[in-house]
Amino acid sequence: MVVSKRQSNIGRNIKKYRTKFKFSQDALSKKANLAFHTIAKIESGSTPDPRIETVKKIASVFGVSLDDLMK
Compare 7 and 62 and report the one with higher pLDDT.
Answer: 62
Closest CA to 10 of 34, 63, 59, 30: 59
Global pTM? 0.87
What pLDDT score was predicted for residue 3?
46
Domain boundaries, the chain: 2-70
Which CATH architecture group holds 2-70? Answer: Orthogonal Bundle (1.10)
What pLDDT score was predicted for residue 47?
87
d(CA 52, CA 11): 13
